[in-house]
Amino acid sequence: MRNKVYIIPIFGLLLLSGCKSLSRLTTKDQSSPGGQAGSRSSMPRGFLDNIAVLPGEVKLGGIKVSAPPVAGTETKKNVGIAYDAALSLPNKYANLLGVAPTSLANLQLLAQMEKWYGTQYCFGGSTDSCIDCSSFTQVMLRDVYNVKIPRTSQQQFDASTKIEKENLKEGDLVFFNTVSASMVITHVGFYVCNNKFVHASTSKGVTINDLSEKYYAKAFRGAGRFIHP
């Protein structure tokens, strides 16, 4: 345990040295999301809350970032890598979601999206290498918000508190029938923001789409909420 190094005391020094604004906080359809890390001063306070630095490894929520130590400077090096990797998540997803990086305040949510993004779809799947739509929403609510929900998309729809589309908030679920015009629920996604949702797509795996896209607008059957103030 002697070789563990944590970022908390070092972060305090960063604040004293003049860094006054930090931030914490959904697809790989056509291409991998990109973007340059923004300036550190533009990020809301609290962005590094869930970052721990160990020799050779940085953990950001559920994401591990390689950080090979350098003799005599490993603490400084690992802190710098943690900071840069943390800043990259909001910048990486901001363009896909059509929002400013500073508005993506939930680091754990972004870390989980990064973890699952591009994972292959398979019916009934619930593993790190293969997952279906309702298992994905179940895992997201469990690992981001510590909320337990039923397993299937129909069960999730039935158990949720129904909300209007215009009242959707981060963590709500969106439900679809992708095979017929009936109200039977065959697909579910996890709403993020700005009309965008992340889901396990049969064709692209875990990816991000917009509710206004013709296919999803036609298939949309309702929205439900499990997270309540």
Provide the pLDDT confidence category of residue 59 given band limits of 50, 70 and 90: low
Provide the pLDDT confidence category of residue 63 given band limits of 50, 70 and 90: low
CATH of the domain at 216: 3.90.1720.10
Exactly one of 130, 193, 199, 228 is catalytic; name it.
199
Whether residue 199 lies in the annotated active site: yes
Q: pLDDT tens digits, residue range 136-185?
A: 999 999 999 999 999 999 999 999 999 999 999 999 999 999 999 999 99
Exactly one of 122, 130, 133, 228 is catalytic; name it.
133
In a domain, 123, yes or no: yes
Q: Last residue of a domain, which of 82, 113, 144?
A: 113
Shared domain for 221 and 125, answered yes or no, is yes
Distance CA 161, CA 188 (A): 15
Domains identified in the chain, total number: 2
Shared domain for 206 and 190, answered yes or no, is yes
Q: Last residue of a domain, which of 90, 113, 136?
A: 113
From 218, 216, 158, 227, select the one nearest 189 (Cα to Cα). 216
Whether residue 133 lies in the annotated active site: yes
Shared domain for 71 and 152, answered yes or no, is no
pLDDT(33) > 80: no
Shared domain for 15 and 105, answered yes or no, is yes
Exactly one of 19, 122, 130, 187 is catalytic; name it.
187
Shared domain for 106 and 135, answered yes or no, is no
Question: Is the CB of residue 42 less than 8 Å from the CB of residue 21?
Answer: yes
- Residue 86's domain comprises 8-113
Provide the pLDDT confidence category of residue 20 given band limits of 50, 70 and 90: very low
Shared domain for 122 and 90, answered yes or no, is no
The tokens of 115 are what? 């973890």
Whether residue 228 lies in the annotated active site: no
Distance CA 93, CA 183 (A): 32
Burial 13-51 (b: 16+ CB within 10 A, else e): eeeeeeeeebbbbbbbbeeebeeebbebeebbeebbebb
In a domain, 2, yes or no: no
In a domain, 1, yes or no: no
Shared domain for 96 and 154, answered yes or no, is no
Q: pLDDT tens digits, residue range 67-107?
A: 444 444 455 555 565 666 667 899 999 989 999 999 999 99
Distance CA 35, CA 177 (A): 34
